[in-house]
Structure 1
Amino acid sequence: MKPGDRLPTEKQLSEMFGVSRTPVREALSVLEASGLTVSKQGGGSIVQATSLTNLMEQTQFEFVDTEEVLNLLETRIILESEAARLAAERGTAEDKAVIKEKLDEIRSSQNNNLVGDKEDIAFHNAIVQAAHNPILLHSVENIATLYEKAIRFSLKKNMGISEKRAQVLSEHERIYTAIRLGNGEQARDEMYKHLNNARKKFKHSFDQALNS
């Protein structure tokens, strides 16, 4: 169904699925709470467009427009590439030790065959923290929840594919090395490559999931 379409009535849905009206009402309530439908005067529900600006935690990520997610990741590329440069140039020894710790956690998650989305996010957050720019940090935090959903979705697609997981780890290692050496330009370039690759892989994975 497309945005603007009217859902069948409770009675029709009850008959379609062979259930009482109680679970139908519950399901309709979940859809409305998730921002996927809106109730209309006189009864009935209308499908509404789902965007990143009104996405709620309960909403299935697959409902979001692919282009919006790609725009989100593009924004992250812009912010984090510069964050990596600043982390290399401004980061303290303690900052870089934290980044190394988060890198080791990514490696450990792969060794234990875990998705590793939390570890991946922690690594990137440590780099943003090391940039020592409160406005940059706030900007990244504002899109954190949606970004985390995108990372989780993408990394799950790498499960069981050792080559892809090894590539992601290698990209993280190159970012850390550039930051550790204080090479801002290299850190920026490595972060750009890493996130741009993630954006491309996400689009491919998203398209596959929607067409499966």
Structure 2
Amino acid sequence: MMDDRPHILRTTHLPTRIADQFAQQILSGVLKPGDRLPTELAMSKNFGVSRTVIREAIAQLRNEGMIETRQGVGAFVIERPTRHIRLNDGGMTEDDFRGLFQLRIPLEIEAAGLCALNHSSDHLAQMDEALLRMSAGSEAPDDGILADLDFHRTIALGTGNDYFVQFLGAISDRILKTILLSREKIRLDTLLDVVGQEHRDLRDAIAAGDPMRARSAMRAHMVGSTQRVDLKIDFYD
């Protein structure tokens, strides 16, 4: 009997491959704004993967600004800016990780400063919710990773500048790979303590409305992130 499920290459990151398939349908107009994606269960059966993989793919599409999720309802395609940034999937060498951080560091530091000035109470609530999920990471490690991505996306949203959302969304799958790599190198409970404190410092600086403190907290987080994947990056003040 022939298997007619969509073919997903096992040599690449599964959530990214699934997100790519839906992204192509959205970009080509097969899926239009307002259309609902299949349920997690239906996609899990269709692609032959776990629901955790599907949740990561959905989170990636959400971070890229292609869909929105409604609690208890599902995931829906949303209207996108005319100029939408999307990178093709690929393997990550040491040079790729270095290039990623060279782009990410100035973007994230500036985003933190702007978020401190422009955030709303809703943004703080979303950060707090992400922090709670991250703190439970040892019980639900996959959701802890997604919560980390959601925290950074909320900072981008809090800038009030959609370009930050687009650029950081475009590299969200690469950021996910750095999180996975750091979890391979450092014991999980130790990693969660350190990363959790870095994110709490960021949240508190943003809540205080102090852009310089927020930028400093993000810089410290970026330094820690590079060290956790054994990269030496030069920072310029």
Give TM class, smaller chain. 0.5 to 0.7
User: How many Å separate the matches in 2 of 1:144 and 1:107?
Assistant: 21
From 130, 141, 144, the equivalent of 2:158 is: 130
Instruction: Give the residue type in structure 2 aligned to 1:119.
Output: A
Q: CA 1:156 to 1:147, structure 2 compared with 1: closer, same or farther past 3 Å?
A: same
User: How many Å separate the matches in 2 of 1:30 and 1:106?
Assistant: 28
- The equivalences for 1:41-52 within 5 A come to none
TM-score by length of 1: 0.62
- Give secondary structure in 2 for the equivalent of 1:203: coil
Q: Is the 8 A contact 2:202 2:218 kept in 1?
A: yes
User: How many Å separate the matches in 2 of 1:80 and 1:103?
Assistant: 18
| Greater displacement, 139-148 / 80-89 | 139-148
Q: CA 1:30 to 1:85, structure 2 compared with 1: closer, same or farther past 3 Å?
A: closer
Q: How many pairs are equivalent?
A: 147
Q: Is the 8 A contact 1:86 1:184 kept in 2?
A: yes
Query: RMSD of the TM alignment (CA)?
Result: 2.2
Deviation, 1:135, is 1.2
Which position in structure 1 is the counterpart of 2:210? 183
Which position in structure 1 is the counterpart of 2:42? none
Unaligned 5+ residue runs, structure 1?
1-28, 32-52, 205-212
Q: Is the 8 A contact 1:83 1:128 kept in 2?
A: yes
Instruction: Give the residue type in structure 2 aligned to 1:186.
Output: R
Deviation, 1:134, is 0.9
Which position in structure 2 is the counterpart of 1:78? 106
Runs of 4+ in 1 over 4 A off after TM superposition: none
Q: CA 1:128 to 1:101, structure 2 compared with 1: closer, same or farther past 3 Å?
A: same
User: How many Å separate the matches in 2 of 1:106 and 1:100?
Assistant: 10
Deviation, 1:54, is 5.7
- The equivalences for 1:89-168 within 5 A come to 89-110=117-138, 112=139, 114=141, 116-160=144-188, 162-168=189-195
- Give secondary structure in 1 for the equivalent of 2:230: helix
Which position in structure 1 is the counterpart of 2:198? 171
Deviation, 1:203, is 2.2
Q: CA 1:203 to 1:181, structure 2 compared with 1: closer, same or farther past 3 Å?
A: same
Deviation, 1:185, is 0.7
Instruction: Give the residue type in structure 2 aligned to 1:72.
Output: L
Identity %: 24
Deviation, 1:165, is 2.4
Instruction: Give the residue type in structure 1 aligned to 2:194.
Output: Q
User: How many Å separate the matches in 2 of 1:100 and 1:182?
Assistant: 16
Deviation, 1:172, is 0.7
Deviation, 1:113, is 6.2
Q: Is the 8 A contact 1:178 1:187 kept in 2?
A: yes
1:165-184 per-position Cα deviation (integer Å, ceiling 9, x unaligned):
21111111100000111111
1:109-148 per-position Cα deviation (integer Å, ceiling 9, x unaligned):
24x2625211111111111111110112111112122221
